[in-house]
Copies of this chain bind each other. A is one copy, B any other.
Amino acid sequence: MLSFYSRRDLNFILNDLLNADQLCQFNRYAEHDSATFTEVLNTAEKLAGELFYPHAAKSDANPPVFDNGRAVLIPEIKQAVDAFCENGFIAASFGPEHGGLGLPEVIAQAAAAIFMTANLPSTAYGTLTIGAGRLIESFGSEQQQQRYLLPMIEGRFFGTMCLSETHAGSSLTDIRTRAELQDDGSYRLFGSKMWISTGEHDMSENIIHMVLAKLPDAPPGVKGISMFLVPRRCLNEAGEADSRNDVVLAGLNHKMGYHGSVNTVLNFGDNGGAYAELIGEPNKGLFYMFQMMNEARISVGLSAAALSVAGYQAACSYAGERRQGRHPDSKDPAEPMVPIIEHADVKRMLLQAKSYAEGGLALCLYAARLMDDARVLEGAAAERAFAILDLLTPIVKSWPSEFGLRANDLAIQVHGGYGYTKDYPVERLYRDNRLNSIHEGAKGIHGIDLLGRKVLQDRGQVLGLLLEDITVTIDEVRKDMSAQQLHEYADDLASACETVSTTSKTLLSGVISTGLRTSMANSTIYLDMLGHVVVAWIWLRQAHIALGKLTAGVPPADQNFLNAKLGACRYFYIYELPMVKTQCVLLSRLDETCLKADRQWFRE
């Protein structure tokens, strides 16, 4: 088994927690079966191990170089990405009607997670192409699907998202890029886009940029944003990439981490205007983008979880080998030093990291399963799945970005001085992961999204559905007399749900009594808090399954794995969940300490 992830854990999440095979009962996924899924994951593991993992440190040490308008990358990235495409990992999540494999999202994301644990930056070329392709699949014309999407699914064209500008990162309302209609129905596009991942390279025949811009007569704000497709090379009649479009690499961003994924500033239209095609209808660009953004956000959460898994795996491996010190009650220097995994504090760090890493991974794949449910279920059931997914999206994006990062931090700490060096992967994994709380909406935005748009605006209705689902688990555990050791956690979780409910009502009343700004002032804390409750739920489900299997009897080889699930669950309930109450006390105060802080305070 490769050491950057645990296949056993992935299988447990997919098979035992999420019942992925069950999806094959639905028409949409009827052509697949358990064997296909295994084969997909086997292939991902093989490619990840052979082509992604080996160059992760090298591409970190050799970031892309700007050379005369080109971005030069180490060659191993292309080899890896080519194999990713050739083996159908872009096609995986597109429907067969577009030449895709039509895999369930939960399997496609699980496969993506394997690549991400091995080498996230090199995986980004594929995942961004999937995201861009999804927009064309959902909103492009038939001709656009034919000319652009097909070669993307085939891995010949890659894709990017071009949203931000230097002055408008989080605030898309304020973008200035503009597009003008031409006589032939195409557009000329002018503007500069910032933070464009995989925006320039020579790895594919073409790069298809999905660009947000404004039409001359557009209404102000977000209602005046349209989406355009801007190819790096314009296509000829035969659909082949031909002459260079007016898209120029203006510079590279030099980042803390994520080096292998080239991050660019792109200038559009400096030489007369970039050829652009409108996607869908005018002024609906942000609406379209948000369809994809929700997927992208889950992908960010998955990236963060994957990096934390990689860090956790490295820490386990190091802690089992490195010998240092003795137990507090045995200081005889004649005794051999113990492996550091024997020290209680190292075990604490590993349990904490495990609870974050595996909890985050399970959370993200649960979200992918909800995407599948929203597709295969019908009527109210589909709507319900979609509503819960929509509520959870800011948590799925942010929780692994925050706590998975802490797992990476712990992985450094477990390694001691070695963890601070480039001889071990853990400091790189940390630096790669630090981006995830920033891109696709900085964390603060997701707090506002969760509390403001998802909880307060619908008066807690969807939150109520989530709490219902959590209560189902609580009841199942409580009714299971062979699971008595979990009953205390069920009680803790029930109590936490009660607190969430009361606190949310207080914040809702606060909107009327003290105003929206006050209720929203601590939305980031609400985000962390609800994230912990959801992950506690996921841990209880995992523990309940693990205990059931242990009770039923499993081979000795599986016992450690299942006992470890119980241990991590116990850790999470004893060390982590109690914070929820502390945070809810704060939230219920409708505290204005931060809101009312005078900006002049920060000028000294």
Using CB atoms and an 8 Å cutoff, list the residues of chain A in contact with chain B: 6, 8-9, 164, 167-171, 173-174, 194-195, 220-222, 253-257, 316, 319-320, 323-329, 331-334, 337, 339, 341-351, 354, 412-413, 416-417, 419-423, 427, 430-431, 434-435, 437-439, 442-444, 447-448, 452, 515-517, 520-524, 560-561, 563-564, 567, 570-571, 574-575, 578-579, 581-582, 585-586, 589, 591, 593-595, 597-604
- The 3 A-B residue pairs with the shortest CB-CB distance, nearest first, are A221-B333, A564-B601, A348-B594
Q: Given the complex of chains A and B, what is the CA–CA distance between A571 and B596 in angstroms?
A: 11
Q: Given the complex of chains A and B, what is the CA–CA distance between A41 and B560 in angstroms?
A: 59
Closest to A342 in B: B599
**Given A416-B170, A520-B328, A575-B593, are A598 and B220 neighbors across the interface (CB < 8 Å)?**
no
In-complex Cβ contact of A254 among B222, B423, B598 (8 A): B423
Q: Enumerate 16 A-B pairs (CB-CB under 8 Å) in ascending A order.
A: A8-B604, A170-B416, A174-B333, A220-B333, A221-B334, A254-B422, A344-B521, A345-B444, A345-B448, A345-B523, A348-B522, A349-B444, A351-B597, A413-B443, A417-B438, A581-B582
In-complex Cβ contact of A582 among B164, B417, B578 (8 A): B578
Closest to A428 in B: B256
**Given A582-B579, A601-B563, A602-B319, are A439 and B417 neighbors across the interface (CB < 8 Å)?**
yes
- B345-A567 in contact (CB<8A): no
Q: Given the complex of chains A and B, what is the CA–CA distance between A332 and B221 in angstroms?
A: 8
**Given A169-B324, A328-B516, A517-B329, are A570 and B598 neighbors across the interface (CB < 8 Å)?**
no
Q: Given the complex of chains A and B, what is the CA–CA distance between A602 and B341 in angstroms?
A: 9
Given contacts A173-B333, A581-B582, 7 further A-B contacts (CB under 8 A): A342-B599, A347-B599, A351-B594, A420-B435, A560-B603, A567-B597, A574-B586
Q: Given the complex of chains A and B, what is the CA–CA distance between A344 and B412 in angstroms?
A: 32
Write out the residue numbers on chain B whose beta carbons fall within 8 Å of the beta carbon of A517. 327-329, 344
Q: Given the complex of chains A and B, what is the CA–CA distance between A173 and B337 in angstroms?
A: 10
Closest to A345 in B: B444
Q: Given the complex of chains A and B, what is the CA–CA distance between A516 and B417 in angstroms?
A: 28
Tallying the copies of this chain within the complex gives: 2
Could you tell me the distance in whole angstroms from the C-beta of A32 to the nearest C-beta in chain B?
27
Write out the residue numbers on chain B whose beta carbons fall within 8 Å of the beta carbon of A438. 412-413, 416-417, 419-420
Q: Given the complex of chains A and B, what is the CA–CA distance between A325 and B445 in angstroms?
A: 10
- B570-A593 in contact (CB<8A): yes
Write out the residue numbers on chain B whose beta carbons fall within 8 Å of the beta carbon of A522. 344, 348
In-complex Cβ contact of A256 among B422, B520, B581 (8 A): B422
- A344-B423 in contact (CB<8A): no
- A524-B348 in contact (CB<8A): yes
Q: Given the complex of chains A and B, what is the CA–CA distance between A560 and B435 in angstroms?
A: 34
Write out the residue numbers on chain B whose beta carbons fall within 8 Å of the beta carbon of A354. 602
- B597-A195 in contact (CB<8A): no
- A170-B324 in contact (CB<8A): yes
- A421-B256 in contact (CB<8A): yes
Could you tell me the distance in whole angstroms from the C-beta of A117 to the nearest C-beta in chain B?
14
- A601-B416 in contact (CB<8A): no
Closest to A341 in B: B599
Write out the residue numbers on chain B whose beta carbons fall within 8 Å of the beta carbon of A328. 448, 452, 516-517, 520
Write out the residue numbers on chain B whose beta carbons fall within 8 Å of the beta carbon of A256. 412, 420-422, 427, 430-431
In-complex Cβ contact of A255 among B9, B174, B221, B421 (8 A): B421
Write out the residue numbers on chain B whose beta carbons fall within 8 Å of the beta carbon of A334. 220-221
Write out the residue numbers on chain B whose beta carbons fall within 8 Å of the beta carbon of A603. 316, 320, 560
Q: Given the complex of chains A and B, what is the CA–CA distance between A292 and B350 in angstroms?
A: 32
**Given A324-B169, A328-B517, A439-B417, are A524 and B575 neighbors across the interface (CB < 8 Å)?**
no
